[in-house]
Chains A and B, each alone.
Chain A
Amino acid sequence: MNQKALNLKELEQLAYPRTYQDGLLDIYLGGILASNAVFAFTIFPGTDLDSLQVIIYYLIGMGLSTLVFWLGKRYITLPRIGLVTFGPARHKRARDLILALAVIAVVQVLVVFLQMGFLVSPSLRSQLIPILGDTSSTNLPIAIVASLFVAPGMLLIAYFMDIPRFYYLAGVVSLAVFLMILLDQAWWMALGGVLIILLGVIQLFRFLRQYPLESTPDEQS
């Protein structure tokens, strides 16, 4: 006889990830990364784009990502898994995530100012070189700092939103930024975005197979 205690916490934890199994958030984040890669092409060698092209490609990329996310949630996800609002504990985690992201953003701004001061102010530079070393001759330290910039945000999303595969996405984004700076090639960032989109599309197909459309009285009325 199959006997298992009713665990309410487990019940909630099983229901919650279902709302993110559709892969649409992955596609959206991959789209944002790929769209932002367009700006990287103006900094790193890879292809020649003028400012107008950059803005047009960026807006098209961001617009498409947002549209796919919004339409997908409305016409694919909701009819298949339905509408659910989770309890106060999940709302609190969402608030905690916003707070943690804000703290990370403040820290990152401070680091940027410190770095600018390091580059601009000769006195600050001479004070910091004995501590940090002279890193201006190589891309490696910049690549490490930049990848550490993008990783915490994604890791926080993975932790607070309880989506384990986002730890993996954080790794992909960090690696893409790291390789872009280290190898001086903007394509790496675009490639990272495309890879995340592809993972999202695979996730979406699995979701469609797992949750076929079922008729409910709401649709019949």
Chain B
Amino acid sequence: MSSPETDFSGIHDIDRLVHEPTRLMVIASLYVVESADYTFLMRQVGLTWGNLSAHLSKLEEAGYIQVEKTYRGKRPYTLVRLSDLGRTTFKNYVSQMKTIFNDLDQS
């Protein structure tokens, strides 16, 4: 395959783990808070537990989120927070997307 004449390197560099719409919603929701539990996240992004769990596992594997088990009285809570890496990655993603679409606007 011949190489493209236009420079698409910006698009190639996009983090696909973050770019997926559902995970993007999860990361954006976690970005604006310090931490949240499963119930809050399910409400916030409108997902079932099974669906949310699959996305959270991928984000945890990548080191973008931290999962912490805690208790309030006798009730267990699983708190999820964006890691420093997750925050930086999301910021970079936003900046990359802005740059790409700004470039497209001018063409």
- Taking Cβ atoms with an 8 Å cutoff, the residues of A that contact B are 6, 8-9, 11-12, 15, 18, 74, 78-88, 211, 214-219, 221
Contacts and interface: CB of A to CB of B under 8 A. Distances in A.
Contacts of A215: 49
Contacts, number: 81
Contact of B42 (A18, A79, A216): A216
A85 B33 contact: yes
Interface in B58-74: 72-73
22 contacts: A6-B28, A8-B28, A15-B40, A78-B39, A80-B39, A81-B43, A82-B36, A82-B39, A82-B41, A83-B40, A83-B79, A84-B33, A84-B36, A85-B34, A85-B35, A86-B34, A87-B33, A215-B49, A216-B37, A217-B38, A217-B53, A219-B75
Contacts of B28: 6, 8, 11
Interface residues of B, number: 26
Interface of B: 24, 28-29, 31-44, 49, 53, 72-73, 75-79
A83 B39 contact: yes
